[in-house]
Copies of this chain bind each other. A is one copy, B any other.
């Protein structure tokens, strides 16, 4: 049997479904049995990550750790966490398990660097932006990047929350307005650095200007699976 990918998910639940869907689409298979086994713990009641970072709301750490423990006990052999903002707690989570744990920011930045991508804007939650998850790494690699201004960032966050509340159309219109503005000031690429954004922009996601963090994470996990399985 192929190695089991564990998904520490529910942040949000649709992002977990998107990651599972992308695992299937990235696996060459002619029948069910050739696909990769996945255990997904999708606990949407994990406290809001951005609220915890920005406003000192309840920390999501303990519930994320509980989900990780379930994945360990269930036999997961490699962990992915399809939520960018949750990676604020990545080091602490990774240190608490012996199972390989892929990092969504690292794999996404690796792609940007290896493909020589520049003039890239970071589309992410206000929490992810505030803690500089992407900025720190891109700065080190001398990648030119743009962080949306405060007004744009408020609109992006509103878009993400609209999607989470079930209003995909409003979510799309909000983020599209910011993307148009950013293109006008020379941005050529966009990091979909919140796992809701590929869903909001579904239909646009295959365009080369978008870098899908969920997609990169999944591709790396599938690759890990093939390299480490018997």
Write out the residue numbers on chain B whose beta carbons fall within 8 Å of the beta carbon of A38: 10, 13, 40, 42
Give the residues in chain B near A40, CB-CB below 8 Å: 20, 38-40, 42
Cβ of A1 within 8 Å of any chain B Cβ, yes or no, is: yes
Q: Does A170 contact B (CB under 8 A)?
A: no
Interface string of A3-40 (1 = CB under 8 A from B): 00000001111101100110110000111111111111
Is the CB–CB distance between A165 and B29 below 8 Å? yes
Quote the shortest CB–CB distance from A37 to chain B (angstroms). Answer: 5
Q: Which residues of B contact A133 (CB under 8 A)?
A: none
Q: Is A70 an interface residue (CB 8 A)?
A: yes
Q: Give the Cβ gap from A130 to chain B, nearest Cβ, in Å.
A: 19
Contact of A32 among B12, B20, B29 (CB under 8 A): B12
4 additional A-B pairs beyond A13-B23, A32-B46, A39-B39, beta carbons within 8 Å, are A13-B24, A30-B164, A39-B70, A74-B74
